[in-house]
């Protein structure tokens, strides 16, 4: 496009066909991108872009943005306008434009909830810790996935901990972080606790995790298998009730009726295993255990919890979870398909995740199969 003049600005602005205007605008933007204009022609092109940004359709603005996103010398006001435009216009500029400053990007991230725009920022070639922090604050799994896949993004261990509530319940995010590599050992161990068996193997190879962790994982797998085989207790079907008691007796005799198994049973809504197990460990009849666990004042659960020698630091969390689980299972009479989802929602709504010690850990069990910490045995 030789000899671009100010007359072209007027012609383009007055062209009645939007299709023709779009083609011309896209061509001018491409010519500008690949530096095919003289300095005077570049100035005319910039004027054309400013005219089009005021009255062109979003489709035309998007075609311009696709080209100008790769122009490092484009005036800031044009790029800023495009970056704050409709999603289809803004996305390429947010992802590729070097004209946008870090302050620009932080401002845009903080002011929008549009996931596509946030993902575009998360894919930028280089992302500072401050900008990563703003993206992490959005607590959106799709945004986090784009950020974690970006090896040009600086992400600190503290920031990963801030996003842990989202990471711990999303297998895709866990796998993305593992494949990212270069994680602090403390984060690798936390990931190991919530990862699938395949991802656990990858983590153990990458970070040489200690064998006690691997042994604990094997035990966890056995415990979840036990819970998967355990029949649901139905008060109208005494035979199932007997099966639960037989299973608990067998586990006890073989030394496998562990505190962590009972915690997992409660997290999974298996009230029968929890009730029978507590009775066995506290050495009281099951009917007595049921009375103590459902007694309204809370003194009952305090007594049986201590008698069963359950971990002290988890008492308040288990007490809250027991109350919610009893309500969600109609005191053990039903087993909802969405039990875990309902319990998680109630814990967050009632803000127990913020106020009750170790509730975050129980939430991670409810959301997926994970390894118990050292003080739950």
Q: pLDDT digit string (tens) for 299-345?
A: 888 999 999 998 878 889 889 988 888 888 776 566 667 788 888 88
pLDDT given at position 372? 37
pLDDT tens, 69-94?
Answer: 999 999 999 999 999 999 999 999 99
CA distance 157 to 140: 18
pLDDT given at position 269? 79
pLDDT tens, 220-238?
Answer: 555 656 666 555 544 434 4
pLDDT band at 16 (very low <50, low <70, confident <90, very high): low
pLDDT given at position 103? 96
266-282 mean pLDDT = 87
pLDDT given at position 338? 77
pLDDT for 370 beyond 60: no
pLDDT for 23 beyond 70: yes
pLDDT band at 373 (very low <50, low <70, confident <90, very high): very low
The pair of three-digit structure tokens given for residue 39, joined into one six-digit string: 């300095």
Q: How many C-beta neighbours within 10 Å does residue 145 have?
A: 18
Range in 53-62, 202-211, 261-270, 301-310 the model is least confident about: 202-211
pLDDT for 141 beyond 90: yes
- Average pLDDT score over the chain: 81
pLDDT band at 113 (very low <50, low <70, confident <90, very high): very high
pLDDT for 257 beyond 50: yes
pLDDT given at position 234? 43
Statement: the pTM of the whole predicted model exceeds 0.75? no
Range in 131-140, 196-205, 231-240 the model is least confident about: 231-240
Query: What percentage of the chain exceeds 90 in pLDDT?
Result: 32
pLDDT for 166 beyond 60: yes
């Amino acid at each position: 496009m030789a000899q671009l003049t100010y007359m072209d600005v007027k012609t383009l602005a007055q062209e009645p066909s939007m299709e023709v205007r779009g083609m011309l605008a896209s061509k001018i933007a491409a010519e500008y991108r690949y530096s095919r204009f003289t300095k005077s022609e570049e100035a005319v092109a910039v004027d054309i872009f400013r005219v089009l940004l005021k009255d062109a359709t979003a489709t035309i603005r998007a075609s311009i943005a696709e080209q100008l996103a790769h122009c490092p010398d484009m005036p800031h006001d044009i790029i800023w306008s495009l970056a704050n435009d409709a999603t289809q216009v803004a996305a390429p500029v947010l992802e590729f434009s070097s004209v946008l400053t870090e302050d620009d990007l932080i401002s845009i991230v903080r002011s929008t909830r549009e996931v596509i725009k946030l993902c575009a920022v998360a894919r930028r070639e280089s992302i500072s810790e401050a900008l990563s922090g703003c993206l992490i604050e959005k607590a959106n799994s799709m945004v986090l996935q784009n950020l974690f896949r970006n090896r040009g993004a600086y992400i600190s261990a503290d920031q990963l901990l801030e996003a842990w509530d989202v990471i711990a319940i999303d297998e895709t995010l866990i796998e993305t972080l593992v494949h990212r590599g270069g994680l602090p050992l403390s984060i690798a161990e936390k990931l190991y606790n919530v990862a699938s068996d395949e991802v656990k193997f990858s983590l153990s190879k990458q970070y040489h995790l200690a064998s006690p962790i691997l042994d604990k994982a094997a035990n966890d797998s056995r415990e979840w298998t036990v819970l998967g085989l355990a029949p649901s207790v139905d008060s109208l079907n005494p035979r199932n009730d007997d099966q639960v008691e037989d299973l608990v007796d067998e586990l006890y005799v073989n030394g496998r009726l562990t505190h962590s198994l009972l915690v997992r049973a409660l997290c999974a809504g298996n009230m029968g295993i929890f009730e029978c197990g507590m009775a066995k460990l506290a050495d009281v009849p099951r009917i007595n255990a049921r009375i103590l666990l459902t007694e309204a004042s809370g003194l009952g659960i305090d007594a049986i919890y201590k008698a069963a020698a359950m971990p002290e630091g988890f008492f308040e969390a288990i007490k809250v979870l027991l109350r919610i689980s009893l309500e969600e299972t109609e005191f053990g009479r039903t087993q909802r398909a969405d039990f875990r989802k309902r319990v998680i929602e109630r814990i967050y709504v009632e803000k127990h995740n913020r106020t009750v010690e170790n509730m975050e850990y129980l939430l991670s069990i409810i959301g997926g199969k994970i390894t118990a910490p050292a003080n739950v045995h």
